[in-house]
């Protein structure tokens, strides 16, 4: 190997290492919630029209607790990273949130067309064909949902449809606390039981 070739290889290694260190520091450095752009609606990417991020073929991130347990993980087939804003735009999103009291069997699964991952505060926003599947198989479908990592809470402010082996229903908004393993619905909850004694159905509305 001649000196010129060795020198070029050395320069290439320095460039790669420098980019890796800068990317890790910029992308995963803590950011304050007020630094984030909340002026648009969830799914509003108009602020990106004048700039381009770093496009990658896929992403997988797993959040680990201080005692070494998995808290949640998120994956996407395509991602566009904006280092200055510490956020990533996601396409074809899938996530799993593990319940505190049942790490092995208790997992809430989520899928959506698009999403935003805020690296600094580790919050997740998803939109478009959002499907949330609870550990018992109950499915909730909506258009937008948010996970706040600080509160360990998954929520949706848009109407949801609910479906399981024994009921169908609707709810105006919904939230689920992972630490408490409890879900809460508000806003004209309507439930139709599909499996009643004698094969009858019963419909009720809660306000």
Cβ burial 102-128 (10 Å sphere, 16+ → b, else e): eeeebbbebbbebbbbbbbbbbbbbbe
Q: Which has the higher per-residue pLDDT, 15 or 196?
A: 196
Q: Which one is the CATH code of 52-206: 3.30.420.10, 3.20.20.370, 2.60.120.260, 2.60.450.10? A: 2.60.450.10
For the cut 50, the answer to whether the pLDDT of residue 113 exceeds it is yes
CB-CB contact of 122 with 149 (8 Å)? yes
Residue 46 pLDDT level (bands cut at 50, 70, 90)? very low
Distance CA 93, CA 137 (A): 19
Residue 199 pLDDT level (bands cut at 50, 70, 90)? low
Q: Which has the higher per-residue pLDDT, 193 or 105?
A: 193
Entry pTM: 0.69
Residue 152 pLDDT level (bands cut at 50, 70, 90)? very high
Q: What are the DSSP calls for 49-105, one per residue?
A: TT---EEES-EEEEEE-TTS-EEEEEEEEEEEEEGGGTEEEEEEEEEEEE-TT-TTT
For the cut 70, the answer to whether the pLDDT of residue 200 exceeds it is no
Tens digit of each residue's pLDDT (9 = 90 or more) over 61-94:
999 988 888 899 999 999 999 999 999 999 999 9
């Amino acid at each position: 190997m001649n000196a010129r070739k060795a020198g070029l290889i050395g320069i290439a290694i320095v460039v790669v290492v420098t980019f890796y260190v800068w990317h890790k520091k910029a992308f995963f450095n803590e950011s304050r919630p007020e630094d984030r752009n909340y002026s648009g609606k969830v799914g509003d990417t108009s602020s990106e029209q004048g700039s381009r991020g770093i496009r990658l073929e896929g992403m997988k991130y797993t959040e680990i607790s201080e005692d070494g347990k998995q808290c949640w993980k998120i994956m996407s087939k395509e991602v566009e990273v904006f280092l200055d804003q510490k956020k990533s735009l996601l396409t074809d999103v899938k996530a799993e949130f593990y319940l505190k009291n049942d790490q092995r069997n208790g997992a809430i699964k989520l899928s959506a067309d698009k999403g935003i991952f805020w690296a600094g505060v580790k919050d997740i926003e998803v939109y478009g064909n959002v499907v949330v599947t609870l550990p018992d198989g109950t499915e909730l479908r909506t258009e937008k949902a948010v996970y706040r990592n600080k509160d360990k809470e998954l929520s949706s402010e848009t109407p949801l449809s609910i479906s399981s082996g024994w009921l169908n229903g609707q709810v105006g908004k919904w939230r689920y606390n992972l630490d408490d393993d409890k879900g809460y619905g508000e806003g004209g909850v309507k439930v139709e039981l599909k499996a009643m004694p004698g094969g009858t159905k019963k419909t009720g509305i809660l306000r």
